[in-house]
Amino acid sequence: MAKMLKTNANDNVDTDENNTFADKRIHLNVNEVPNFINNYFIEDFVSSKTIRFFERFNINLSFIETDPSTWDDNLDYCKGKEIVSNLQVVNDTAERVVKLIEDFNKIGTKNEEQKQYMLQVITKYRKEIPHSNKCTIME
C-alpha cells in the first residue's frame, strides 16, 4: 500500500506544482455515491500534498507498510492519529467565533468600537491561554 501511495504521489507531482487548482472538491448527489465508491480507491486521492501532510506534522509513515487491521497496535499510527485528532479544524474555529459574537451581541454593548475592542481582547486572551478552563487556571 505504501508503494502505491508513494507512486501516486510522485505521479501527481507535476499536476500539483503546475496547477494551483489541483485540489479537487468532489460534489456528489446521494444517488451517485454507490457508483463513486465502486470506481474510486484511496490512491486516487493521493498526491504530493498527501506526503507533505505527514512530513509537516512529523508523522512516521512506517505503519502504511503494514496491514491496516494492525494499525491500532502500531505506535507510529497511534501517534499520528493523536496528532491529527488534535488538529483544530478551520470550521470549528469559525463556528466558535460566530457563536461568541452572537452571544456577545445579546448581552454586550451596542457601540461598534467597544465590540471591536472586546473582540481584540478576547482574541489576545485566547492566544495567551488557549485552554482556559477551571483546571488550567487553577494550576
- pLDDT at position 21: 41
Q: Which amino acid is at 46?
A: V
Question: Smallest Cα–Cα separation from 101: which of 87, 120, 85, 83?
Answer: 120
Could you give the percent of the chain with pLDDT greater than 90?
A: 19
Lowest mean pLDDT among 17-26, 39-48, 59-68, 78-87: 17-26
CB 34 within 8 A of CB 72: no
| Alpha carbons 33 and 36: distance in angstroms, whole number | 5
Question: What mean pLDDT is predicted for residues 15-19?
Answer: 48
- Greatest C-alpha distance within the chain: 60
| Alpha carbons 41 and 48: distance in angstroms, whole number | 17
CB 47 within 8 A of CB 22: yes
Question: What mean pLDDT is predicted for residues 100-129?
Answer: 81
Lowest mean pLDDT among 8-12, 31-35, 92-96, 129-133: 8-12
Per 3-state DSSP, what percentage of the chain is helix, strand, and coil (rounded to 5)? 75, 0, 25
| Residue recorded with cell 512506517 | 62
Question: What mean pLDDT is predicted for residues 9-33?
Answer: 61
Between residues 80 and 90, which one has the greater pLDDT? 80
Instruction: Classify the phi-psi angles of 28: left when phi > 0, otherwise alpha if psi is within -120 to 50, otherwise beta.
Output: beta
pTM: 0.46
